[in-house]
Amino acid sequence: MPQKKITFAVVGCGHIGKRHAFLIQQNPEAQLVGMADTNTTLQQNIENEHNTPFFDSLESLLASGLRPDVINICTPNHLHAPQSLLALEAGCHVVCEKPMALTKADCEDVIYKSLQMSKLVFCVMQNRYSPPSVWLKELVSKGILGKIFMVQINCYWNRDGRYYKHGQGNWKGLQVSDGGTLFTQFSHFVDIMFWLFGDIKNIQARFYDFNHQHLTEFEDSGTVTFDFKKGGAGCIHYSTSVWDKNLESSITIIAENGSVKIGGQYMNEVEYCHIKDYQMPELPPASPPNDYGNYKGSAANHHFIIENVIDTLQGRNVATTNALEGLKVVEIIERIYEQKQHKSAL
């Protein structure tokens, strides 16, 4: 007897929300039953493009009596936690775009509600699915690299006036709704770091605002140094001030038995691998980046996330990124940003 399809609704009909909807509709085990956005001018386009009912809010979707198995939250950052709570309270599982919330306390509220309702929260951290990341996880997990000495993460992207557009309804660049550069642009890479090497301590950070004074309410660049609780030292250098297009996202690891560097614009290429008594395997090609027209984002691996949700709910697998890991990423970013209260470089 075939298993019933997993039903989904998507909240937030921007680029990523529409991508979620498209990939749900591409999956033979999934069914899209509704979409919601406060921008009602999108209604005709959404109903025509996705052939699904449109609602002007998550509240109106739930008030209609619709109870999908899963609600995908693809709205501005500050709405992720309250909308996850609403969806869980209604008895739905949740797929939450990054970041899970803007504070650890809000993440804890979501986790508490998910446990209370016996529902799952899947956090979107699609960089875990890229072949170089999967390979790197195996290297670290199996101890092939030996002790970790130093880890350097560089995130150098372009986010200019084409991205931070001022105007009604725009949330990007606002402190209260965006949260900061590490939350919106680079939480993927904080996640990869935590996934590979665990938690950090002894954080020191400096923040800069080179050319975004009229675009955002927060820094455009920063340097962060820390120690890993499991041993070894690390640093993150990040900037959205790169002219015209993204430069790179990279991770360099210096370890007891060798060195590795993964680079490219989206941490999608193995640039260096020299490890004692080890021959690197041929890796499958990485997915292309999400293309937003004037700017590009991380690798387009969202189809893996939808597959993982379905596999988990059908009892064939477990969640790739669970809510506790989502909380840890938010907590690490929150602890980095606490350094702002102590000093500001410019």
Q: What is the pLDDT of residue 261?
A: 98
Give the amino acid at 320: T
Residue 159: pLDDT band with limits 50, 70, 90: very high
Give the amino acid at 268: N
Q: What is the pLDDT of residue 346?
A: 45
DSSP E strands: which ranges in the chain?
A: 6-11, 30-36, 54-55, 70-73, 93-96, 121-123, 148-156, 200-208, 221-228, 233-239, 248-255, 258-263, 269-275, 289-291, 296-299
Reply yes or no on whether the pLDDT at 118 is more than 70.
Answer: yes
Give mean pLDDT, residues 254-278: 94
Reply yes or no on whether the pLDDT at 299 is more than 80.
Answer: no
Residue 345: pLDDT band with limits 50, 70, 90: very low
Reply yes or no on whether the pLDDT at 263 is more than 90.
Answer: yes
Give the amino acid at 68: P
Give mean pLDDT, residues 211-231: 97
Q: What is the pLDDT of residue 316?
A: 93
Residue 321: pLDDT band with limits 50, 70, 90: confident
- Domains in the chain, CATH or no CATH each: 6-123 (3.40.50.720), 131-297 (3.30.360.10)
Report the length, in residues, of the chain. 346
Reply yes or no on whether the pLDDT at 343 is more than 60.
Answer: no
Reply yes or no on whether the pLDDT at 337 is more than 80.
Answer: yes
Reply yes or no on whether the pLDDT at 114 is more than 90.
Answer: yes
Q: Give pLDDT tens digits for 165-186.
A: 876 568 999 999 999 999 999 9
- Token pair 């990939």 is found at 23
Residue 288: pLDDT band with limits 50, 70, 90: low
Is residue 144 exposed (0-12), middle (13-18) or buried (19+ Cβ within 10 Å)?
middle
Q: What backbone phi and psi angles, to 5 degrees, belong to 57?
A: -170, 165
**CA 126 distance to own-chain centroid:** 6
